[in-house]
């Protein structure tokens, strides 16, 4: 799990790195959330997670700025559709992990948002001619969905922090009353739901998969794929 996260930091697109950073940050908060009243949010393990998360955010920002300067970040949502041709699993004895490499014939899918609302569109795989269905939101819809997610999940996170503080203070008198436990559990549940909602917000680009034919996958495009798509300079070099 951690190996996958670190690999995501090194090889990922800015969006993936940001997501990984957020997951690490939440790992850091875990002990504080689950052991309310016993651990504070700045214990040693948490600080390690926060530091790596911070590095990830800085790296994501740098990558984003470089990508934007190279003309790789445009306003239309893009996803990469893979026609999977094979998988290879290697065991890395040194790291004690299994690494799966997926081979695929890939094609970029650039979505043109409709004027209003959202629209289903079908995309034909170039390799097998099968049809995939995606849903594209209009720019107005994208804005609305993002704003709604920020209000709901940001509010949820704030409420969970308040409940956390209440349960921490009320939990200092032993034995703990039943209501303190209830506040504490609702705090933890609310926290993870809100955190999940915020992750979804970051992963949302305005287009999503509705139906995928078996043997295909959808992901964020990598740097060289965007470079080829936009015919930008630096297409061949630095294809991480
Ligand atoms: Zn296909």
Mean pLDDT on 96-120 = 88
Q: pLDDT class for 233, splitting at 50, 70, 90?
A: low
Average pLDDT, the chain: 83
Among left, alpha and beta (phi > 0; psi -120 to 50; other), residue 177 is beta
Q: What is the pLDDT of residues 42-88, one digit of tens each?
A: 677 778 888 989 999 999 999 999 988 888 888 889 999 999 988 88
Question: Which pLDDT score is estimated for 232?
Answer: 55
Handedness of CA 183, 184, 190, 194 (dihedral sign): positive
- Beta-carbon contacts of residue 141 (< 8 Å; ≥ 6 apart): 113, 116, 117, 118, 206
Task: Output the CA 130–ligand 1 centroid distance in Å.
Answer: 6
Task: Output the CA 87–ligand 1 centroid distance in Å.
Answer: 15
pLDDT(134) > 90: yes
Residue that the structure tokens 């209501």 belong to: 179
Task: Output the CA 44–ligand 1 centroid distance in Å.
Answer: 48
Task: Output the CA 104–ligand 1 centroid distance in Å.
Answer: 9
pTM, two decimals, is 0.74
Question: In the chain, what is the greatest distance between 2 CA atoms, to the nearest angstrom?
Answer: 66
Distance CA 68, CA 40 (A): 39
Task: Output the CA 118–ligand 1 centroid distance in Å.
Answer: 25
Task: Output the CA 79–ligand 1 centroid distance in Å.
Answer: 15
Question: Which pLDDT score is estimated for 236?
Answer: 45
Question: Which pLDDT score is estimated for 212?
Answer: 92
Among 52, 51, 30, smallest CA distance to 41 is for 30
In this structure, which residues have their CB less than 5 angstroms from ion ligand 1? 83, 125, 127-128
Q: pLDDT class for 34, splitting at 50, 70, 90?
A: low
Task: Output the CA 126–ligand 1 centroid distance in Å.
Answer: 6
pLDDT(32) > 90: no
Residue that the structure tokens 């979505």 belong to: 111
Task: Output the CA 107–ligand 1 centroid distance in Å.
Answer: 10
Question: Which pLDDT score is estimated for 44?
Answer: 76
Q: What is the pLDDT of residues 168-191, one digit of tens each?
A: 777 777 777 788 888 888 888 898
Mean pLDDT on 133-145 = 93
pLDDT(119) > 60: yes
Task: Output the CA 125–ligand 1 centroid distance in Å.
Answer: 5
**Six-digit token pair at 16?**
């993936």
Task: Output the CA 170–ligand 1 centroid distance in Å.
Answer: 58
E strands, 140-184, are none
pLDDT(210) > 90: yes
Among 143, 16, 147, smallest CA distance to 80 is for 16
Q: pLDDT class for 206, splitting at 50, 70, 90?
A: very high
Task: Output the CA 112–ligand 1 centroid distance in Å.
Answer: 22
Task: Judge whether 92 and 98 are in contact, CB under 8 Å.
Answer: yes
Q: pLDDT class for 109, splitting at 50, 70, 90?
A: very high
**Six-digit token pair at 227?**
């470079």
Task: Output the CA 88–ligand 1 centroid distance in Å.
Answer: 19
pLDDT(37) > 70: no
The terminus-to-terminus CA distance of the chain in angstroms comes to 21
């Amino acid at each position: 799990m951690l190996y996958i996260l670190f690999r995501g930091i090194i090889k990922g697109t800015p969006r993936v790195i940001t997501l990984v950073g957020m997951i690490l940050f939440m790992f850091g908060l875990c002990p504080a959330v689950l052991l309310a009243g016993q651990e504070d949010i700045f214990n040693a393990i948490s600080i390690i997670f926060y530091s790596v998360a911070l590095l990830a955010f800085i790296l994501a920002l740098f990558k984003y700025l470089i990508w934007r300067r190279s003309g790789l970040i445009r306003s239309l949502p893009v996803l990469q559709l893979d026609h999977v041709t094979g998988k290879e699993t290697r065991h890395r004895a040194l790291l004690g992990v299994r690494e799966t490499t997926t081979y695929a014939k890939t094609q970029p899918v650039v979505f043109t948002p409709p004027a209003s609302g959202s629209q289903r569109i079908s995309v034909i795989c170039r390799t097998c001619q099968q049809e995939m269905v995606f849903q594209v939101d209009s720019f107005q819809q994208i804005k609305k969905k993002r704003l709604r997610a920020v209000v709901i999940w940001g509010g949820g996170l704030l409420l969970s922090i308040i409940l956390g503080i209440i349960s921490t203070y009320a939990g200092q008198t032993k034995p703990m009353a039943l209501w303190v436990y209830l506040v504490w559990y609702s705090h933890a549940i609310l926290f993870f739901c809100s955190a999940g909602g915020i992750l979804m917000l970051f992963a949302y680009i305005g287009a999503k998969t509705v139906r995928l034919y078996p043997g295909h996958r959808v992901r964020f495009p990598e740097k060289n794929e965007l470079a080829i798509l936009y015919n930008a300079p630096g297409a061949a070099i630095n294809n991480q």
